[in-house]
């Protein structure tokens, strides 16, 4: 058991020799446990230095080793769900020496990336895509007459999403050669992991059982109704001792559950079922954070790990302001104390969205619907039809998955649903997790009001504003801490569609949205520019824009969102529709996916730090002949 993050690289003599899975497959079975142990120690060390997702990878060390040992990767295709669990996979597939660059500019990606390695067969970030993708690969291999096996590894949390079951429903119709491995690390599907379950798992995956099953099928299929009777008898017997009846009914050959941390047993099982034709389903039980004491004790708390900071001779003063998530969590609880019809909904983001206090204080009004963003949104709509006041706490990047429900089920019906959109910002995990498109895809939806707070107190007041508003509303805020504004306990509804001017200037007016207001403050001071906290993306403060256009030479919009279709585009559209002629400069996320890095560096890359904003404005003010292209 590892109980603390090592500061020195552990000795990994056998792991150091594994330049590829082919080398792994050349080892004797007796050497595999040493590979597992060294891989787990190396993983704890490297993630401790870089930060990153942690518990999921520790839980699949044995499975990762077994898969690469048994299957002929990369010819055989492994598809990992979510990507949080793929650090061991990256280490075993030739990227061990690059692990110290994780989450860094030009480093290896924190998720599978097709352009990074031939072993990364499918890029992932959001959950529940693996079965669909693997099925497509298996069908494609069949059409191309390629001899390859396809394996999808999906967690029990990801199995709660509708997409996973949509894929499972389709698999039997294709009769594709696909193996789905359910990595059950929370016992949410079955707690049947005792001696009897292990015995039946061995029986159901044994060569004797499988050969007898196939032989019997061939014989009994010639006798009317005999095979159907035998098949149902088998299913009922299996259903008495193992939880796989559901998957059998869907048309998959279910095997398990089995111990996901017994690497030799896993290898034996995979070797037995490797060449089975058609769709097969293996259920394994693992422990998230396996082998690292603090993670085993608190798998939720160590889902993602911050890197170990170097010791400093003098501690730096800490910014004690609450995070935006903290502000939301406190507002939600305060609001629920005075409004009995408030209900909170989250798609498996209780800790991340800071809903722990609310869930404990108001358990009868708290719904964690698991990884089911579409259901969360339509559930809220259904509640709203009954006069209940739902608040959906959701990350920006995950709200993308519920776009149809937001339009059809909430907005068209003009229902009272508040979306609290967290992580609406660039994130160190890169494009799969950065929330920089929500302003673009939300502001075009009728009936919806859309707000972007500039500090902690404004966040609280906007949440209240959206909650008491009649109709759908959304408040989007970034990850992390704000500028440190004093948060008022009183809640006052802001006037809808009204901005506030923070600084009066000349020539240039900076129209800043949300997190960019604090960044633009010093820029406005240095340039003598007007600075406006726009507050509302929809509806815009058109009167303010019109007034500023009459008194300034240049309007500059700044947002932590894609330029295309974003808040700046909304300003441009208004100016065009009103026939107002003035120079404009739109600053935001350019038309590209911003790769992983420190968020501050990502902002600088986009020209959204103070230096970049100031330079862009100064360049725009120069005569055309002097501007740098």
Length of the chain: 629
Rounded mean pLDDT, 523-548: 98
> Which residues of 385-437 form beta strands (DSSP E)?
389-395, 418-422
pLDDT at residue 63, as a whole number: 96
Q: Which residues pair with 395 in a beta bridge?
A: 422
Q: In this structure, are 163 and 120 located in the same domain?
A: yes
Least trusted range by pLDDT, from 4-13, 172-181, 198-207, 376-385: 198-207
pLDDT at residue 338, as a whole number: 97
pLDDT at residue 300, as a whole number: 55
- Of the candidates 38, 62, 373, 456, the residue annotated as catalytic is 373
Quick check: is 146 catalytic? Answer: no
pLDDT at residue 193, as a whole number: 41
Quick check: is 4 catalytic? Answer: no
Measure Cα distances from 600 to 253, 315, 421, 593 in Å. Answer: 49, 21, 21, 16
- Confirm whether 235 is domain-assigned: yes
Q: How far apart are CA 522 and CA 483, in angstroms?
A: 13
- 211 compared with 587, residue with greater pLDDT: 587
- Confirm whether 315 is domain-assigned: no
Could you tell me if 345 and 393 are in contact, meaning their C-beta atoms sit under 8 angstroms apart?
yes
pLDDT at residue 229, as a whole number: 57
Q: In this structure, are 356 and 505 located in the same domain?
A: no
pLDDT at residue 556, as a whole number: 98
Q: How far apart are CA 598 and CA 272, in angstroms?
A: 45
Rounded mean pLDDT, 532-553: 97
Give the pairing type, strands 473-476 and 508-512.
unpaired
Q: In this structure, are 463 and 575 located in the same domain?
A: no
Kindly state the percentage of the chain with pLDDT values over 70: 84
Q: How many domains does the chain have?
A: 3
Digit-coded pLDDT (tens) for 543-556:
999 999 999 999 99
- Confirm whether 319 is domain-assigned: no
Pick from 616, 598, 597: which is nearest to 607 by CA? Answer: 616
Could you tell me if 478 and 515 are in contact, meaning their C-beta atoms sit under 8 angstroms apart?
yes
Quick check: is 288 catalytic? Answer: yes
Rounded mean pLDDT, 366-379: 93
Q: In this structure, are 183 and 218 located in the same domain?
A: yes
Q: In this structure, are 168 and 247 located in the same domain?
A: yes
**Phi (first) and psi of residue 291, to 5 degrees:** 95, -10
pLDDT at residue 197, as a whole number: 47
Structure tokens at 12: 């990994």
CATH code, domain carrying 446: 3.40.50.970
CATH code, domain carrying 606: 3.40.50.920
DSSP assignment letter at 121: -
**Phi (first) and psi of residue 412, to 5 degrees:** -60, -35
Q: In this structure, are 164 and 25 located in the same domain?
A: yes
- Confirm whether 4 is domain-assigned: no
Highest mean pLDDT, choosing among 1-10, 230-239, 280-289, 470-479? 470-479
pLDDT confidence bin for 576, thresholds 50/70/90: very high
Give Cβ neighbours of residue 89 (< 8 Å, ≥ 6 apart): 64, 68, 78, 80, 112, 119
- Confirm whether 313 is domain-assigned: no
Q: In this structure, are 347 and 407 located in the same domain?
A: yes
Angle (CA) 150 152 155, round 5°: 170
For residue 282, the SS3 value is: strand
Range of the domain at 109: 15-305
pLDDT at residue 109, as a whole number: 87
Rounded mean pLDDT, 592-606: 94
- Confirm whether 10 is domain-assigned: no
Containing 332, the helix (H) or strand (E) segment is helix 324-338
- Confirm whether 621 is domain-assigned: yes
Q: Which of 249, 275, 305 is the last residue of a domain?
A: 305
pLDDT at residue 231, as a whole number: 58
DSSP assignment letter at 194: S
pLDDT at residue 190, as a whole number: 41
Q: How far apart are CA 146 and CA 76, in angstroms?
A: 10
pLDDT at 224 > cutoff 70:
no
pLDDT at residue 365, as a whole number: 96
pLDDT at residue 189, as a whole number: 42
Structure tokens at 413: 């019906």
Q: In this structure, are 295 and 335 located in the same domain?
A: no
Digit-coded pLDDT (tens) for 309-322:
443 333 444 456 79
Q: In this structure, are 295 and 328 located in the same domain?
A: no
Q: In this structure, are 526 and 448 located in the same domain?
A: no
pLDDT at residue 299, as a whole number: 55
Q: How far apart are CA 378 and CA 220, in angstroms?
A: 47
Q: How far apart are CA 33 and CA 247, in angstroms?
A: 31
**Phi (first) and psi of residue 342, to 5 degrees:** -70, 135
Q: In this structure, are 293 and 340 located in the same domain?
A: no
- Of the candidates 238, 401, 476, 535, the residue annotated as catalytic is 401
pLDDT at 28 > cutoff 90:
yes
Measure Cα distances from 145 to 55, 96, 276 in Å. Answer: 39, 33, 17
- Of the candidates 90, 149, 288, 443, the residue annotated as catalytic is 288
Which value, in Å, is the radius of gyration of the alpha carbons in the chain?
A: 27
Rounded mean pLDDT, 335-347: 96
Task: Report the chain's mean pLDDT, rounded to a whole number.
Answer: 88
Structure tokens at 334: 């305060």
Measure Cα distances from 278 to 130, 174, 234 in Å. Answer: 17, 9, 18
Q: How far apart are CA 260 and CA 276, in angstroms?
A: 20
Q: Is there a cis peptide before residue 539, judged by omega within 30 degrees of 0?
A: yes
Query: Hey, what's the torsion of the CAs at 305, 310, 314, 318, to 10 degrees?
Result: -20
Q: In this structure, are 437 and 537 located in the same domain?
A: no
Structure tokens at 233: 């008898």
Q: Has this prediction a pTM greater than 0.85?
A: no
Token match 């890029």: residue?
Answer: 123
Q: How far apart are CA 576 and CA 588, in angstroms?
A: 20
Q: How far apart are CA 430 and CA 594, in angstroms?
A: 6
Burial class of residue 6 in the structure, from the number of CB atoms within 10 Å of its CB (0-12 exposed, 13-18 middle, 19+ buried): middle
- Confirm whether 318 is domain-assigned: no
């Amino acid at each position: 058991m590892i109980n603390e993050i090592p500061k020195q690289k552990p000795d990994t003599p056998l792991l150091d020799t594994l330049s590829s899975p082919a080398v792994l497959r050349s080892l004797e079975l007796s050497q595999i446990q040493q590979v597992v142990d060294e891989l787990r120690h190396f993983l704890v060390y490297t993630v401790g230095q870089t930060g990153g997702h942690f518990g999921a990878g520790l839980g699949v060390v044995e499975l990762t080793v077994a898969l690469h040992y048994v299957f002929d990767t990369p010819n055989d295709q492994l598809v990992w769900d979510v990507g949080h669990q793929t650090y061991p996979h990256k280490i075993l597939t030739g990227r061990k020496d690059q692990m110290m660059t994780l989450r860094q500019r030009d480093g290896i990606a924190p998720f599978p990336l097709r352009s990074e390695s031939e072993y990364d067969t499918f890029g992932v970030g959001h959950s529940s895509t693996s079965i669909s993708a693997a099925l497509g690969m298996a069908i494609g291999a069949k059409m191309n007459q390629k001899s390859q096996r396809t394996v999808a590894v999906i967690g029990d949390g990801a199995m709660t999403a509708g997409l996973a079951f949509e894929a499972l429903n389709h698999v039997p119709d294709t009769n594709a050669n696909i193996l789905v491995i359910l990595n059950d690390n929370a016992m949410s599907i079955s707690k049947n992991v005792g001696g009897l379950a292990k015995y039946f798992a061995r029986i159901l995956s044994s060569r004797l059982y499988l050969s007898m099953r196939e032989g019997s099928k061939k014989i009994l299929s010639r006798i009317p109704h005999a095979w159907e009777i035998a098949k149902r008898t088998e299913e009922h017997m299996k259903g008495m001792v193992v939880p796989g009846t559901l998957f059998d009914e869907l048309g998959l050959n279910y095997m398990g559950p089995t111990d996901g941390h017994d690497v030799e047993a896993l290898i034996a099982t995979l070797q037995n079922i490797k060449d089975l034709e058609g769709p097969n389903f293996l259920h394994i039980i693992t422990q998230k954070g396996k082998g690292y004491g603090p993670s085993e004790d608190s798998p939720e708390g160590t889902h993602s790990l911050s890197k170990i900071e170097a010791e400093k001779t003098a501690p730096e003063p800490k910014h004690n302001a609450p995070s935006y998530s903290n502000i939301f969590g406190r507002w939600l609880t305060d609001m629920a104390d005075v409004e009995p019809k408030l209900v909170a909904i989250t798609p498996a983001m209780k800790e991340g969205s800071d809903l722990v206090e609310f869930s404990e204080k108001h358990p009868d009004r708290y719904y964690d619907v698991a990884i089911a963003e579409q259901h969360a949104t339509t559930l809220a709509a259904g509640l709203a039809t009954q006069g209940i006041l739902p608040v959906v706490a959701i990350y920006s990047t995950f709200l993308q998955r519920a776009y149809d429900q937001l339009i059809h089920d909430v907005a068209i019906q003009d229902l009272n649903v508040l979306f609290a959109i967290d992580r609406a910002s660039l994130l160190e995990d890169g494009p799969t997790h950065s929330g920089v498109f929500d302003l673009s895809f939300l502001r075009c939806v009728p009936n919806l009001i859309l707000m972007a707070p500039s500090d902690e107190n404004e966040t609280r007041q906007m949440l209240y504003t959206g909650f008491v508003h009649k109709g759908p509303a959304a408040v989007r805020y970034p990850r992390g801490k704000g500028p440190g504004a004093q948060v008022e306990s009183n809640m006052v509804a802001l006037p809808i569609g009204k901005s506030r001017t923070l600084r009066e200037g000349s020539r240039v007016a900076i129209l800043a949205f949300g997190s960019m207001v604090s960044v633009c403050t010093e820029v406005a001071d240095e340039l003598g520019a007007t600075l406006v906290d726009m507050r509302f993306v929809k509806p815009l403060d058109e009167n303010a824009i019109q007034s500023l256009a009459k008194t300034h030479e240049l309007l500059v919009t700044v947002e932590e969102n894609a330029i295309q279709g974003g808040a700046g585009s909304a300003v441009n559209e208004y100016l065009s529709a009103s026939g107002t002629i003035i120079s404009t400069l739109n600053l935001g996320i350019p038309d590209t996916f911003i790769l992983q890095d420190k968020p501050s560096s990502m902002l600088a890359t986009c020209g959204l730090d103070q230096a970049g904003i100031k330079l862009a404005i100064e360049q725009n003010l120069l005569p055309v002949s002097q501007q740098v292209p």
